[in-house]
Structure 1
Amino acid sequence: MTDAPDTPEAARRARALYDLGPTAIYSCKADPRFHYCLYVPPVVGEGEKVELLVAIHGTSRTSFLDFRDGFAAFGKWNKVAILCPVFPVGVLGDGARSGYKYMREGDIRYDELVLKMVAEVAATYGQDWSRFAMFGFSGGGHFTHRFAILHPEKLWAASIGSPGSVTLLDPARDWWVGIRDIEARFGRPFDQAALARVPVQMLVGDADLETWEITHKPGGTYWMEGANDAGRTRPERLKTLAASFEAAGVTVRLELVPGVSHDRMKVLDRVQDFLAGVLKRMRAP
């Protein structure tokens, strides 16, 4: 078996098998420590243009495949490719699980890494993905709302699912609790006007009430004053985040999902409904 198909027919079959529909898992060219897979609607193989949804996994990392496959039908019928990055545990050799959630870990900028992945796959498939949607649940919800704060101009929608801790748009507190020092930390000022143009969904199960993993304590890696001020539970913290975004002029669709605990698969239909509505408005004449 060779990596380079030696006939046009072999190349066509390899592309259909590995690069369209549910794809293989690829290393990121910009940093091969990180990986991604996609769902690519078959029409892309016929030269059609589609939109992009970036779906960010939670702490277990296994949800990247749940999201690729869980959004596949949505992607096929709505002409949306799904990009699922993989950020391994302990990429710096220290066993740390949560670095990606806060955008920076050592010399790694996870927000910039995602932008490089998007540019890479856009070039591969001949697409214009200068703007895309983003969804994340749990740890991915951490990532998504912080990415929206740092790069609102890159998003046509953001869906934020059940983050354990939230960054409020508070100019009186430093990152990650607030945003006072984001320009010093990330080289980017907060663009309130751009964020206000992003349609935002925030959703959490009303039974998602476990606090053992989300309560910050002195001495913890991400402990800082105010770390628990947004609320005790995930629903409380998400409501506080929604109020913070709304005070900045963002239109937020806040959904408290009845009877649902910390279960990513039970919110995907609501995420798809939200994204379909945004797409309909975007594509209207």
Structure 2
Amino acid sequence: MLSKRYAIEIFLFLGIIFLTIFSSCAPKGEILQQDHEHGTYHLYVPENYSPDSDVVVIVHGMPGSNENVAERAERYINRWTDFSDTTGAVIIAPVFDQENYASDGGSGFGGYRGLYGRNVGADEFVHQILEEVDTGLAPTSEDRFYLYGFSAGGQFTNRYLVRHPDRLLGVVVGAAGRYAFPDEETSWHYGMGSIQHQSEWHDGEPLEVDITPDPQGWVQATQLPVTVVVGEQDRPPQPCRQAHCEEFSRPNDIAQSPEYTTILNQSVPPGRYFVAANVVLSDTEDADPFPATARCTIFNGNEVVDSFALQMGESGSGAESVVFSLQGITTTTGGMTQLSLGCRKGSNDTTEISVRESPKLTAIEVGQDAFVSESADRPDDISQSPHYTTVLNESVPPGRYLVTANVVLSDEEDADPFPATARCTILSGNEVVDSIALQMGESGSGTESTSFSLYGIAAVSDDPSELSLMCRKGSNDTTQIRVRESPKLTAINVGQDAFVTESSDRPDDIAQSPNYTTVLNQTVQPGRYLVAANVVLSDDEDADPFPATASCTMISGDDVLDSYALQMGESGSGNESVAFPLHGIATISDHPAELSLMCRKGSNDTTQIRVRENPKLIAVSVGNDAFGEENRSTRLEIGEKWVSDMQELERSEGRTSTISLQLVPGVGHNPAGLTDEVQEIFRTLMEE
């Protein structure tokens, strides 16, 4: 039997033989795609390779909607072959695929951007690739290497830098939208703090995150040559850490079921939040097949805060649209957590459905006196008018409450007679807090549905009182109307600084575009307000031409808080109606200002459109616990802040800064546009 010493000597001898064969036989001067146990990677070894050659790892950004991740990584490495040929450096481009590293950005708690992986971490995957390549080809100085990543790859690069500074020779962070800041109060992967988090991959497999970063990683990173590179024209605002965020670069088409398209993301610190979201979806004019269906959902991490599905309308009446107004109360723990708004099309639905207007996600911090009541044990069929079916009940102690409710109703497929009508109401005891009626749609286009989003302020005095959500069908309506989804009733305890304005003296007909009709006005003192509004519009029966269109807008002074346009429906099905639930956060400084709700008809629309019900405008003073738009930043501003904080950390250690930021003129968010600048930085470092 071989002794341990001889076994080791034989192993080392065989290793030397393997290294020699691998080194002499490995193709040079061409890009190779290498398979690995935990993924794939691209490799380029120049003709002038030597055992002293440096190694550069380049990390791709998020792929496009129809882009193969491996092809994106190959395009990145293609831009580096000339650099490799002139410097002798070996280039490696890992492929962070969707299955193992969540390259779509929507699962795996940020995937490779946060160094996460399904079987091994994204950083460990790189280590294994380096070991595989290093063994056969290019042992570097103390096995250290150069690292560059763009966009999401820049986030990987930044976080790898502070977790593994001892493995690096130099770093370039290209146009990252997020960084790991030298901040012990902020949890990983945005700071130095520890994090315990439960997430999951896109197929539901759990991901347990338990990380305590070493703050010395940031200190050691300040001793390396690090450059943040951003294009001068890379100006779009990044998904923000504030709790009121409008994303201007929204997707044009929502993804096919069962995948969600993330429309808005924002990170919030631990706390308890009332979260609301608005998004308008529309289908392509005269698209087929019909009816088109869609679902929108608010997520806290991977937990559902609110979700429901609606029908888009019937083909042939123009571009149909529907509004999803969602709300709920959620608690975030264990560091910064993502609140997100996502939408998807119905199963097997090939209709093109686009995101319209500017979707909105709002969050305000609330206390334990806030509640949310949700019912899965809902009634199957709502009662015949004039009787109400109680959908939800909740007892609350004396106080003043902002009350909101969401419920989705649908009629049976091809039910008759039509149109089916329904009314939903929030009651505080026997007092109406909010109530509206809507048409269900026209028979023959599948299961029609409508969403009731209600808002109001309820004052409960002396004794506990019931808040309830109730619905009924229209008078003499024999159509079976069902409660769909899980209806939701939410209440937030607010003070006397909350107001509600309701108008029974409303305009009879809204004005012709482009002029707005003012439906409601309210003057408020300087402060910060959560503002919500409800208005129901209807067209005259059998009016023509069709489809009728309308837009409603909520304004603070001259600033638009929320606005969107919707189709009224198709002629011939009775009085068509649509509800506009709007919300936003208004900051009023210096002097009192008007909050107003205004509506108008679509351009060149001669249909008479009336304001129905009692429109409502609500404002609640929320203070600085609502995160405002001032926190939205561009990649340049975020990069400047990280560089500044790291330079301050260097100064506190008594050293001269080696971290800098470079702006590339005339370049936007484009990896090809930054390549020459990045290569020149590395070329200079290699020559030193």
The TM-score range, normalised by the shorter chain, is: 0.7 to 0.9
Aligned to 2:139: 127
Structure 1 residues 159 and 108, CA gap change in structure 2 (3 angstroms): same
Contact in 1 for aligned 2:188/2:213 (Cα 8 Å): no
Aligned to 2:506: none
Does residue 246 in structure 1 map to residue 634 in structure 2? Answer: no
Within the candidate set 161, 175, 180, 2:188 is matched to 175
Does residue 68 in structure 1 map to residue 77 in structure 2? Answer: yes
Gaps (5+ residues) in structure 1? 1-10
Contact in 2 for aligned 1:172/1:179 (Cα 8 Å): yes
SS of equivalent residue, structure 1 residue 174: coil
Contact in 2 for aligned 1:99/1:105 (Cα 8 Å): yes
Give the AA of the match of 1:34.
G
Q: Deviation of residue 63 (structure 1)? A: 3.4
Percent identical among aligned pairs is 24
Q: Deviation of residue 91 (structure 1)? A: 2.5
1:97-150 CA-to-partner distances (Å, cap 9, x unmatched) read: 540001124553111111111111001215236100000000110000100000
RMSD: 3.0
Structure 1 residues 20 and 106, CA gap change in structure 2 (3 angstroms): same
Q: Deviation of residue 187 (structure 1)? A: 6.5
Q: Deviation of residue 171 (structure 1)? A: 1.4
Structure 1 residues 92 and 52, CA gap change in structure 2 (3 angstroms): closer
Using the alignment, how far apart are the partners of 2:115 and 2:101 within structure 1? 14
Structure 1 residues 93 and 112, CA gap change in structure 2 (3 angstroms): closer
Structure 1 residues 93 and 268, CA gap change in structure 2 (3 angstroms): closer
Within the candidate set 100, 110, 118, 2:130 is matched to 118
Aligned to 1:262: 669
Using the alignment, how far apart are the partners of 1:21 and 1:270 within structure 2? 23
Q: Deviation of residue 80 (structure 1)? A: 0.7
Aligned to 1:191: 217
Q: Deviation of residue 27 (structure 1)? A: 1.5
| Superposed counterparts of 1:202-241, under 5 Å | 202-211=228-237, 216-217=265-266, 219=299, 221=301, 223=338, 231-241=632-642
Contact in 2 for aligned 1:166/1:241 (Cα 8 Å): yes
Contact in 2 for aligned 1:41/1:81 (Cα 8 Å): yes
Structure 1 residues 256 and 248, CA gap change in structure 2 (3 angstroms): same
TM-score normalised by the chain length of structure 2: 0.35
Structure with the largest fraction of helix: 1
Q: Deviation of residue 223 (structure 1)? A: 1.5
SS of equivalent residue, structure 1 residue 21: coil
Q: Deviation of residue 22 (structure 1)? A: 2.5
Aligned to 2:159: 146
Using the alignment, how far apart are the partners of 2:41 and 2:214 within structure 1? 26
Q: Deviation of residue 51 (structure 1)? A: 0.3
Aligned to 2:682: 275
Using the alignment, how far apart are the partners of 1:192 and 1:233 within structure 2? 23
Contact in 1 for aligned 2:32/2:42 (Cα 8 Å): yes
SS of equivalent residue, structure 1 residue 43: coil
Q: Deviation of residue 273 (structure 1)? A: 0.9
Using the alignment, how far apart are the partners of 2:116 and 2:46 within structure 1? 32
Aligned to 1:58: 61
Aligned to 2:311: none
SS of equivalent residue, structure 2 residue 98: coil
Structure with the largest fraction of strand: 2
Contact in 1 for aligned 2:38/2:119 (Cα 8 Å): no
Aligned to 2:32: 24
Gaps (5+ residues) in structure 2? 1-20, 64-68, 196-209, 241-263, 268-298, 302-336, 340-364, 366-626, 651-656
Aligned to 2:112: 100
Count of aligned positions: 262
TM-score normalised by the chain length of structure 1: 0.81
Contact in 2 for aligned 1:161/1:202 (Cα 8 Å): yes
Contact in 2 for aligned 1:22/1:68 (Cα 8 Å): no
Aligned to 1:49: 52
Q: Deviation of residue 179 (structure 1)? A: 0.7
Using the alignment, how far apart are the partners of 1:200 and 1:94 within structure 2? 25
Contact in 2 for aligned 1:22/1:69 (Cα 8 Å): no
Using the alignment, how far apart are the partners of 2:639 and 2:631 within structure 1? 8
Using the alignment, how far apart are the partners of 2:155 and 2:630 within structure 1? 16
SS of equivalent residue, structure 2 residue 338: coil
SS of equivalent residue, structure 2 residue 181: coil
Structure 1 residues 126 and 152, CA gap change in structure 2 (3 angstroms): closer
Using the alignment, how far apart are the partners of 1:230 and 1:103 within structure 2? 25
Contact in 1 for aligned 2:100/2:118 (Cα 8 Å): no
Structure 1 residues 200 and 229, CA gap change in structure 2 (3 angstroms): farther
SS of equivalent residue, structure 2 residue 93: strand
Structure 1 residues 115 and 213, CA gap change in structure 2 (3 angstroms): same
Using the alignment, how far apart are the partners of 2:630 and 2:33 within structure 1? 39
1:238-265 CA-to-partner distances (Å, cap 9, x unmatched) read: 1111112212225223112222111000
Structure 1 residues 85 and 229, CA gap change in structure 2 (3 angstroms): farther
1:196-253 CA-to-partner distances (Å, cap 9, x unmatched) read: 2210110111211223666732636452899x99752111111111112212225223
